[in-house]
Amino acid sequence: MEDVIAWLKANGNLKVIDEPLDVELEIPHVAYIEVKKEDSRPILFTKPVNKAKGIEYDMPVLMNIFANKEITQKIFGRHPDEVAEGIDELLKLKPPKAFVDKLKMIPKLFKLKNVFPKRLDFKGECQEVVIPKEEVDLDKLPILKTWEEDGGPFITMGQVYTQSLDGSMQNLGMYRLQQYDKNRLGMHWQIHKDASHFFDQYQRAGKKMPVTVAIGGDPLYIWCGQAPMPHGMFEMLLYGFVRNKNAQLVKSMTNDIYIPRDVDIVIEGFVDPQMMEIEGPFGDHTGYYTLKEPFPVMEVETVTMKKEPVFAATVVGKPPLEDKYMGWATERVFLPMLKPMAPDLIDYNMPENGVFHNLILAKMKTLYKGHAQQFMHAFWGVGQMSFVKHAIFVGEDAPDLEDFEALSEHILNRLSLDKILITQGIVDHLDHSSDEQFVGGKLGVDATGDEVSEGVESPLDDASLLAKMREIQPRVKALKQYMTHTKNPVCIIAVEKKKSQQKLIKKLAVLKAHIKVLIIVDMANNDLEDPYMLVWRTVNNIDATRDVKLKPFIAIDATNKSEVDGFEREWPGDTFCTKAVLDSLQERGFIDIDEQFIKRFGLLPFN
């Protein structure tokens, strides 16, 4: 992986675009569309420019490195399940009792010597070019502006290296970084992350915090940056375990933080705990903009790089995205680490259209009554799993967790009001739907038992049911029913919203003989024929304590919230592409999409 471009050409069907494209919107739009294709490929943009600033960059931009499952597996060098098997083996290691057992353990222990990062006492390739503080100019880096309403350009694949105040712990995280000017970056480390905990230590001590940001190098560094390692564990340990060789680290030029020797670009600096600046908005991986909020600021001390660096970046927005494949690997590798807290867990899946933390599907052995509810509380109480909003548990007889249609049928045939748990807990920093930031509703569904006996009392076809609803409320504009052959069909309606939908749910009680599960979405920007994006919209838009009602039927209000709902926070907008940019890219042959593709993935507003 020393030459990532050559490796991707040989192993990843790398797509190379040699014509000039703008880092503002054009390059991100091309990458965004590519990663949504079934045969998506990594892309190298060899001639990035910034038309507004009149800049022609002297380094290429590499995007969609984790473009599909096949290339992700190749980056790991083996299937992520094999990595998980090795972790599972380590977790089950017991002290050897006999001499023969000791001999058997030697190979396993010998492998562990490669886990620990090795600190080198010389400079790395990433320090071939050194730019001193007085010459630092972040405009010389092809930093992307992805969305029209973004607050500016953002580094989206930065490996952020930090350490605790006493230097005993080091952390690698992947946080977005907003470029404010030539030598300052906004540090969007969320309140629950290790880097933010380190920041608190420096803030209490009244000291500036050193930060080093790396870009590029082995793609596995990038994956390690988003891996949910236990608190205090350096992510480079995981790199050593996967690669079966020590991560080779070199000391930053201006601070004591160590970073991989072979990354392409290094940005070093300090964060003043007393200085905060508004960061955002930013069209994030939820598919919504995260709003303006004060975050710490990094003042850059120096930039170092290889002689011929490559600028790695990712694009975020509505699913599916590159994080689909990164998340798949994370899911597989970390399964053994979940099992100690949930020993009867068989498997789990976090669908990308559930934006990972918004929905988890889990298969388990049920040994006693309430077992699934016990798992729910265990998941919601530990590490990054505590951010999961909606958890659905099925038994070992359920279909494969990636067979979503068969699994949906299985769940709906077992959905019972007395096995739905609604509670409250911590939610992700990016969650926009809760009434209060960081705290919101949790929904757990126990679908591990037998099929329920009762279905819809009096089924109706879509047209007849819509007609009855419109008699009650004309603002109901469209209706579609899914899984009508199950005991709990899902009825989705699109409304022209003027008032709280809780009032509509009460009015529709007279139709309870025809409905088992009702989901309400806004008419604007929702296609009732697209279940993939309807799942995305629903799990993003609800707070279970407010938006889920269990009487007279299961009703879910997945509309955008506002003052009519008593919602006092600002509700963010969707990430939409810029139509003029899409049209221009299409005319010049950089993309090839039709209206169906645009609507399917919500690229532009509709309805």
**CATH number, domain with residue 363:** 3.40.1670.10
Predicted confidence at residue 336, as pLDDT, reads 87
Residue with structure tokens 């807290």? 341
Split into its structural domains, the chain has a count of 4
pLDDT at residue 561 is higher than 80: yes
pLDDT at residue 98 is higher than 80: no
- What number is the average pLDDT over the span 187-206? 82
Predicted confidence at residue 86, as pLDDT, reads 84
Q: What is the pLDDT of residues 472-531, one digit of tens each?
A: 999 999 999 999 999 999 999 999 999 999 999 999 999 999 999 999 999 999 999 999
Instruction: Report the C-alpha gap between 224 and 480 in whole angstroms.
Output: 42
Q: How crowded is residue 384: how many other Cβ atoms within 10 Å of its Cβ? A: 17
Cβ–Cβ < 8 Å for 109, 101: no
**Together in a domain, 16 and 146:** yes
**Together in a domain, 434 and 534:** no
**Together in a domain, 533 and 596:** no
pLDDT band at 111 (very low <50, low <70, confident <90, very high): low
- What number is the average pLDDT over the span 53-64? 96
**Together in a domain, 478 and 548:** yes
Helices (H) and strands (E) in the chain, counts: 17, 31
**Together in a domain, 273 and 230:** yes
pLDDT band at 113 (very low <50, low <70, confident <90, very high): confident
Query: Cβ contacts of residue 489 below 8 Å, gap of 6+?
Result: 412, 455, 456, 459, 481, 482, 483, 516, 517
Predicted confidence at residue 108, as pLDDT, reads 57
pLDDT at residue 417 is higher than 60: yes
**Together in a domain, 119 and 22:** yes
**Together in a domain, 262 and 385:** no
Please, what is the Cα angle at 524 between 437 and 154, to 5 degrees?
Answer: 50
**Together in a domain, 424 and 472:** no
86 within a domain of the structure (yes/no): no
Predicted confidence at residue 396, as pLDDT, reads 95
Predicted confidence at residue 92, as pLDDT, reads 57
pLDDT at residue 99 is higher than 80: no
pLDDT greater at residue 22 or residue 429: 22
Residue type, 577: C
Predicted confidence at residue 447, as pLDDT, reads 96
Predicted confidence at residue 458, as pLDDT, reads 95
Q: What is the pTM of this model?
A: 0.92
**Together in a domain, 386 and 466:** no
**Together in a domain, 168 and 255:** yes
- What number is the average pLDDT over the span 245-257? 95
Predicted confidence at residue 60, as pLDDT, reads 97
Domain that holds residue 482: 462-565
pLDDT at residue 100 is higher than 80: no
Q: What is the pLDDT of residues 218-238, one digit of tens each?
A: 999 999 998 887 777 889 999
Structure tokens at 183: 């030598």
pLDDT at residue 354 is higher than 60: yes
- Averaged pLDDT score across all residues of the chain: 92
- What number is the average pLDDT over the span 434-452? 94
Predicted confidence at residue 384, as pLDDT, reads 78
**Closest CA relative to residue 607, chosen from 514, 523, 545:** 523
453 within a domain of the structure (yes/no): no
85 within a domain of the structure (yes/no): no
- What number is the average pLDDT over the span 268-272? 95
Give the percent of the chain with pLDDT over 90. Answer: 80
pLDDT at residue 102 is higher than 60: no
